[in-house]
A and B are shown apart, each in its own frame.
Chain A
Amino acid sequence: DAGVIQSPRHEVTEMGQEVTLRCKPISGHNSLFWYRQTMMRGLELLIYFNNNVPIDDSGMPEDRFSAKMPNASFSTLKIQPSEPRDSAVYFCASTRTGRGETQYFGPGTRLLVL
Protein backbone atom coordinates (compact mmCIF):
# COMPACT_ATOMS: atom_id res chain seq x y z
CA ASP A 1 0.00 0.00 0.00
CA ALA A 2 1.29 3.46 -0.89
CA GLY A 3 0.30 5.07 2.39
CA VAL A 4 -1.17 8.55 2.74
CA ILE A 5 0.20 10.86 0.08
CA GLN A 6 0.55 14.60 0.57
CA SER A 7 1.70 17.26 -1.81
CA PRO A 8 3.62 19.43 -1.92
CA ARG A 9 6.13 18.33 0.70
CA HIS A 10 7.43 21.87 1.07
CA GLU A 11 5.85 25.18 0.17
CA VAL A 12 7.30 28.64 0.48
CA THR A 13 5.01 31.52 -0.39
CA GLU A 14 4.54 35.17 0.27
CA MET A 15 1.94 36.68 2.53
CA GLY A 16 -1.34 37.18 0.75
CA GLN A 17 -0.91 34.33 -1.69
CA GLU A 18 -3.26 31.37 -1.97
CA VAL A 19 -1.93 28.03 -0.80
CA THR A 20 -3.46 24.64 -1.62
CA LEU A 21 -2.38 21.49 0.16
CA ARG A 22 -3.41 18.11 -1.18
CA CYS A 23 -3.97 14.70 0.33
CA LYS A 24 -4.69 11.24 -1.03
CA PRO A 25 -5.80 8.86 1.73
CA ILE A 26 -5.10 5.15 1.82
CA SER A 27 -7.44 3.24 -0.46
CA GLY A 28 -10.41 1.87 1.46
CA HIS A 29 -10.12 4.39 4.29
CA ASN A 30 -13.27 6.43 4.77
CA SER A 31 -12.17 8.97 7.37
CA LEU A 32 -9.71 11.75 6.71
CA PHE A 33 -8.18 14.21 9.16
CA TRP A 34 -6.19 17.42 8.72
CA TYR A 35 -3.86 18.34 11.59
CA ARG A 36 -1.48 21.26 12.01
CA GLN A 37 1.75 21.18 14.00
CA THR A 38 3.40 24.31 15.38
CA MET A 39 5.93 24.88 18.13
CA MET A 40 3.49 26.97 20.13
CA ARG A 41 0.34 24.87 19.85
CA GLY A 42 1.65 21.39 19.12
CA LEU A 43 -0.50 19.05 17.06
CA GLU A 44 -4.07 20.18 16.67
CA LEU A 45 -7.02 19.07 14.58
CA LEU A 46 -8.22 21.41 11.88
CA ILE A 47 -11.05 19.41 10.31
CA TYR A 48 -12.10 15.85 9.63
CA PHE A 49 -14.34 14.03 7.18
CA ASN A 50 -16.26 10.77 7.39
CA ASN A 51 -17.37 9.34 4.05
CA ASN A 52 -16.40 12.62 2.36
CA VAL A 53 -18.67 14.66 4.66
CA PRO A 54 -17.12 17.28 6.96
CA ILE A 55 -17.92 16.33 10.55
CA ASP A 56 -16.06 18.85 12.67
CA ASP A 57 -14.35 21.98 11.39
CA SER A 58 -14.17 23.78 14.73
CA GLY A 59 -10.40 23.68 14.58
CA MET A 60 -10.19 25.70 11.38
CA PRO A 61 -8.60 28.97 12.52
CA GLU A 62 -10.72 31.37 10.51
CA ASP A 63 -12.48 31.93 7.25
CA ARG A 64 -9.20 32.06 5.40
CA PHE A 65 -9.03 28.28 5.76
CA SER A 66 -11.25 25.92 3.79
CA ALA A 67 -11.18 22.18 3.13
CA LYS A 68 -12.93 19.93 0.68
CA MET A 69 -13.18 16.25 -0.01
CA PRO A 70 -14.85 15.84 -3.41
CA ASN A 71 -14.36 12.07 -3.43
CA ALA A 72 -13.00 9.24 -1.35
CA SER A 73 -9.50 9.53 -2.75
CA PHE A 74 -8.74 13.23 -2.58
CA SER A 75 -8.89 16.17 -0.20
CA THR A 76 -7.61 19.73 -0.28
CA LEU A 77 -6.85 22.31 2.38
CA LYS A 78 -6.77 25.85 1.09
CA ILE A 79 -5.51 29.01 2.75
CA GLN A 80 -6.48 32.30 1.14
CA PRO A 81 -4.93 34.73 1.82
CA SER A 82 -1.98 33.21 3.63
CA GLU A 83 -0.28 34.92 6.59
CA PRO A 84 3.09 34.33 8.29
CA ARG A 85 1.35 32.82 11.34
CA ASP A 86 0.07 30.02 9.08
CA SER A 87 3.62 28.70 8.83
CA ALA A 88 3.49 25.14 10.17
CA VAL A 89 3.59 21.50 9.20
CA TYR A 90 0.22 20.27 7.95
CA PHE A 91 -0.53 16.58 8.26
CA CYS A 92 -3.22 14.53 6.64
CA ALA A 93 -4.23 11.22 8.22
CA SER A 94 -6.70 8.54 7.26
CA THR A 95 -8.39 5.56 8.85
CA ARG A 96 -11.11 3.09 8.05
CA THR A 97 -14.32 2.40 9.89
CA GLY A 98 -13.92 -0.07 12.68
CA ARG A 99 -13.40 -0.36 16.37
CA GLY A 100 -10.13 1.23 17.38
CA GLU A 101 -8.71 1.58 13.91
CA THR A 102 -5.32 3.29 13.71
CA GLN A 103 -4.87 6.63 11.99
CA TYR A 104 -2.09 6.62 9.43
CA PHE A 105 -0.31 9.87 8.73
CA GLY A 106 1.08 11.31 5.56
CA PRO A 107 4.61 12.79 5.48
CA GLY A 108 3.26 16.30 6.05
CA THR A 109 3.57 19.56 4.15
CA ARG A 110 5.96 22.12 5.60
CA LEU A 111 4.54 25.55 4.84
CA LEU A 112 6.50 28.76 5.21
CA VAL A 113 4.72 32.05 4.61
CA LEU A 114 7.08 35.00 4.27
Chain B
Amino acid sequence: AQTVTQSQPEMSVQEAETVTLSCTYDTSESDYYLFWYKQPPSRQMILVIRQEAYKQQNATENRFSVNFQKAAKSFSLKISDSQLGDAAMYFCAYRYQGNTPLVFGKGTRLSVIA
Protein backbone atom coordinates (compact mmCIF):
# COMPACT_ATOMS: atom_id res chain seq x y z
CA ALA B 1 0.00 0.00 0.00
CA GLN B 2 1.10 3.51 -0.72
CA THR B 3 2.12 5.65 2.24
CA VAL B 4 3.02 9.31 2.62
CA THR B 5 5.20 10.57 5.46
CA GLN B 6 5.63 14.12 6.66
CA SER B 7 8.28 14.07 9.36
CA GLN B 8 7.86 17.67 10.53
CA PRO B 9 4.67 18.10 12.59
CA GLU B 10 5.39 21.82 13.02
CA MET B 11 7.56 24.41 11.33
CA SER B 12 7.98 28.15 11.69
CA VAL B 13 9.43 30.80 9.43
CA GLN B 14 10.03 34.51 9.63
CA GLU B 15 8.01 36.65 7.30
CA ALA B 16 9.80 37.17 3.95
CA GLU B 17 12.10 34.19 4.57
CA THR B 18 12.13 30.80 2.84
CA VAL B 19 10.98 27.52 4.34
CA THR B 20 11.02 23.94 3.08
CA LEU B 21 8.51 21.29 4.10
CA SER B 22 9.51 17.65 3.69
CA CYS B 23 7.55 14.73 2.32
CA THR B 24 8.50 11.18 1.46
CA TYR B 25 6.31 8.49 -0.01
CA ASP B 26 6.38 4.83 -0.73
CA THR B 27 5.01 3.27 -3.89
CA SER B 28 5.87 0.54 -6.35
CA GLU B 29 4.19 2.41 -9.19
CA SER B 30 6.03 4.46 -11.80
CA ASP B 31 3.15 6.62 -12.99
CA TYR B 32 1.60 8.73 -10.27
CA TYR B 33 0.95 12.26 -9.10
CA LEU B 34 1.98 14.23 -6.04
CA PHE B 35 0.24 17.22 -4.51
CA TRP B 36 0.61 19.77 -1.77
CA TYR B 37 -2.62 21.02 -0.24
CA LYS B 38 -2.96 23.94 2.17
CA GLN B 39 -5.55 23.91 4.93
CA PRO B 40 -6.02 27.29 6.67
CA PRO B 41 -8.08 27.63 9.87
CA SER B 42 -11.22 27.70 7.75
CA ARG B 43 -10.46 24.01 7.03
CA GLN B 44 -10.89 24.46 3.29
CA MET B 45 -8.48 22.21 1.35
CA ILE B 46 -6.68 24.33 -1.22
CA LEU B 47 -4.39 22.91 -3.89
CA VAL B 48 -1.00 24.60 -3.77
CA ILE B 49 0.99 22.69 -6.37
CA ARG B 50 1.08 19.38 -8.21
CA GLN B 51 3.75 17.25 -9.83
CA GLU B 52 3.47 14.48 -12.42
CA ALA B 53 5.94 11.69 -11.73
CA TYR B 54 6.82 11.32 -15.40
CA LYS B 55 8.02 14.92 -15.57
CA GLN B 56 11.58 15.54 -14.51
CA GLN B 57 11.12 19.29 -14.24
CA ASN B 58 10.12 20.51 -10.80
CA ALA B 59 6.75 22.27 -10.64
CA THR B 60 6.55 25.92 -9.64
CA GLU B 61 3.61 28.18 -8.82
CA ASN B 62 4.64 31.73 -8.02
CA ARG B 63 6.33 31.61 -4.58
CA PHE B 64 5.82 27.85 -4.27
CA SER B 65 8.11 25.26 -5.79
CA VAL B 66 8.88 21.61 -5.26
CA ASN B 67 11.99 19.49 -5.21
CA PHE B 68 10.93 16.16 -6.68
CA GLN B 69 13.44 13.36 -6.29
CA LYS B 70 11.80 10.30 -7.84
CA ALA B 71 14.53 7.80 -7.02
CA ALA B 72 14.57 8.91 -3.40
CA LYS B 73 10.77 9.14 -3.32
CA SER B 74 10.99 12.62 -1.91
CA PHE B 75 8.72 15.58 -2.63
CA SER B 76 9.51 18.73 -0.65
CA LEU B 77 7.72 22.08 -0.85
CA LYS B 78 9.63 25.34 -0.79
CA ILE B 79 7.83 28.55 0.08
CA SER B 80 9.76 31.69 -0.79
CA ASP B 81 9.12 35.18 0.59
CA SER B 82 6.80 33.74 3.24
CA GLN B 83 3.71 35.78 4.02
CA LEU B 84 1.42 35.81 7.04
CA GLY B 85 -1.30 34.27 4.88
CA ASP B 86 0.87 31.20 4.32
CA ALA B 87 0.28 30.10 7.91
CA ALA B 88 -1.71 26.87 7.70
CA MET B 89 -1.54 23.09 7.75
CA TYR B 90 0.16 21.68 4.69
CA PHE B 91 -0.60 18.18 3.47
CA CYS B 92 1.43 16.17 1.03
CA ALA B 93 -0.65 13.72 -1.01
CA TYR B 94 -0.09 10.92 -3.50
CA ARG B 95 -2.38 9.58 -6.14
CA TYR B 96 -2.01 6.76 -8.58
CA GLN B 97 -3.06 7.37 -12.17
CA GLY B 98 -6.75 7.48 -13.02
CA ASN B 99 -9.62 8.64 -10.85
CA THR B 100 -8.21 7.16 -7.68
CA PRO B 101 -8.24 8.48 -4.11
CA LEU B 102 -5.58 10.65 -2.55
CA VAL B 103 -3.33 9.25 0.16
CA PHE B 104 -2.37 11.98 2.60
CA GLY B 105 0.48 12.55 5.00
CA LYS B 106 -0.25 13.64 8.56
CA GLY B 107 0.45 17.26 7.77
CA THR B 108 2.87 20.00 8.81
CA ARG B 109 1.62 23.04 10.70
CA LEU B 110 3.40 26.13 9.42
CA SER B 111 3.57 29.29 11.50
CA VAL B 112 4.73 32.58 10.01
CA ILE B 113 6.30 35.04 12.42
CA ALA B 114 5.94 38.74 11.70
B43, B91, B95, B99: the one contacting A89 at CB < 8 Å is: B43
Q: Are A42 and B106 in contact (CB under 8 A)?
A: yes
* Interface majority SS (helix, strand, loop, mixed), chain B: loop
Q: Are A48 and B101 in contact (CB under 8 A)?
A: yes
How many Å lie between the Cα of A100 and that of B102 in the bound state? Answer: 11
Contacts of B33 in A (CB 8 A): 100
Query: Which residues of B, 30-45, contact A by the 8 Å Cβ criterion?
Result: 33, 35, 37, 42-45
Interface residues on A, range: 20 to 34
How many Å lie between the Cα of A56 and that of B96 in the bound state? Answer: 14
Interface residue? B52 (CB, 8 A): yes
Contacts of A48 in B (CB 8 A): 99-101
Q: Are B99 and A101 in contact (CB under 8 A)?
A: yes
A43, A50, A91: the one contacting B99 at CB < 8 Å is: A50
Interface residues of A (CB under 8 A from B): 30-31, 33, 35, 37, 42-45, 48, 50, 56, 89, 91, 93, 95, 97, 99-105, 107-108, 110
